Amino acid sequence: MTRMLAFALCLVAALVIFATPTPAHHGTTAYDSSKTLKLKGTVTSFEWVNPHASLAWDVKTENGGIEHWVVELTSPGMLTRSGWHHDSVKAGDEVTVYLHPTKTGTKWGIFQRVVFADGRPDLIDPRQP
C-alpha cells in the first residue's frame, strides 16, 4: 500500500509539473519600438537557425571605427513562408538594416528590413503589419 501511494504521489507531481504552462521567450519588451535605427554596413554573418535567425554586420562609425551589430529575426520557417532562403543574405553583402534597438543601448536589435546596395529587392520582417 505504501509503494502504491508513493507512486501515485509521484505521478500527480509529474503531471502538475509538466502540465503547467510556461511563459514563452518571444517577447519584444527588451526592444524600443519607438525608435528605428537605419545602419549601413557589410554583412559578416547570416545564421539560419531555430528558434530565431540572426544577421550580423559591421558599421563604420564617424571616427573611422567599426561597430559590430546583430539583429534577431523570426524563425526560419516563418521567413521561408515569406520568401526568404538560407542564402538570402550573404557575408560581404553591402546593406542598410532597419531595426528597433534594445532599450539598454547594446549593439543589438530586432529586425525590421534590409535594403541591398546592389538593388536586390528589400527583405522585410514577416511579423510587420
Mean pLDDT by 10 residues, the chain (129 residues): 63 49 58 95 97 97 96 95 95 98 95 96 86
Tell me how far apart the alpha carbons of residues 58 and 26 are, in angstroms, rounded to a whole number.
26
pLDDT for the residue 19: 47
pLDDT for the residue 94: 98
Cβ atoms 56, 48 nearer than 8 A: no
Q: State the pairing for strand pair 108-116/94-101.
A: antiparallel
Tell me how far apart the alpha carbons of residues 101 and 99 are, in angstroms, rounded to a whole number.
6
By three-state DSSP, how is residue 102 classified?
strand
Tell me how far apart the alpha carbons of residues 24 and 17 are, in angstroms, rounded to a whole number.
16
Q: If we measure between CA atoms, which residue out of 46, 34, 48, 33 comes closest to residue 95? A: 46
Q: Which three cell numbers stand for residue 87?
A: 542564402
E strands in 48-93: 54-60, 66-72
Give the global pTM: 0.77
